Chain A
């Protein structure tokens, strides 16, 4: 049981480049989330999805797009990378209840030069 799988684990981009961070879960969870983690800032929610075909904005959505075409996959797209998007990105999933704990991937470490 793989849980939540994120690829790639590391990436260096140049300012203005675009890229897609991949996230896949095999637990049939309805809810999926993208967070960024920066020193002293904790986890900040970028976008989330409450089921296939749905997406919603979180706390810091600007500069990012998501889609949810399948239950398993929830890719995060950086449209035009900026140095301020240098961060560690985590994908998570959970059952569709407030009591459901989140399962996290191991993160993607992204540097924008």
Chain B
């Protein structure tokens, strides 16, 4: 069965600092990986996804993530945090043929950005 672990329920950074949100997964078949962002009182929005091909994936708002199969990781990064990046971030995994198409979500990481 697939699973997702997001390390750190809260991450605090200063404006302009590097953002690093960690996500590790387990999957019995090649995974499809997603990062979503949730702003207050809103639903989740897709930031980026990895399906196949290039392991470094670029998303919206300057975020990117790298799929590392050997480390079973899909960490989310942004070189310079902005106040508007404060939100809840969710990592999710689904599996291709032979596995479960239904995504499994991590518990989320709240990003706090200090001025």
Q: Of residues B46, B90, B105, which shows the largest number of chain A Cβ atoms within 10 Å of its Cβ?
A: B105
Q: Which residues of A contact B105 (CB under 8 A)?
A: 42-43
A22 CA to B64 CA, complexed, in Å: 34
The answer to whether B101 touches A4, judged by C-beta atoms less than 8 angstroms apart, is: no
The answer to whether B96 touches A101, judged by C-beta atoms less than 8 angstroms apart, is: no
Instruction: Tell me how far the C-beta of A77 lies from the nearest C-beta in chain B, rounded to whole angstroms.
Output: 21
Which single residue of chain B is at the shortest CB-CB distance from A42?
A: B107
The answer to whether A43 touches B49, judged by C-beta atoms less than 8 angstroms apart, is: no
14 additional contacts (CB under 8 A) given A50-B101, A99-B49: A33-B102, A40-B107, A41-B107, A42-B106, A43-B44, A98-B32, A98-B95, A98-B97, A98-B99, A102-B44, A104-B43, A104-B45, A106-B41, A106-B42
B26 at the interface (CB under 8 A from A): no
- Chain A's interface size range is 20 to 34
Q: Which residues of B contact A4 (CB under 8 A)?
A: 43
Q: How many residues of B contact A (CB 8 A)?
A: 27
The answer to whether A90 touches B107, judged by C-beta atoms less than 8 angstroms apart, is: no
A69 at the interface (CB under 8 A from B): no
The answer to whether B106 touches A98, judged by C-beta atoms less than 8 angstroms apart, is: no
A1 at the interface (CB under 8 A from B): no
A78 at the interface (CB under 8 A from B): no
Which single residue of chain A is at the shortest CB-CB distance from B91?
A: A42
State which of B44, B94, B107 has its C-beta within 8 Å of the C-beta of A98: B94
The answer to whether B107 touches A106, judged by C-beta atoms less than 8 angstroms apart, is: no
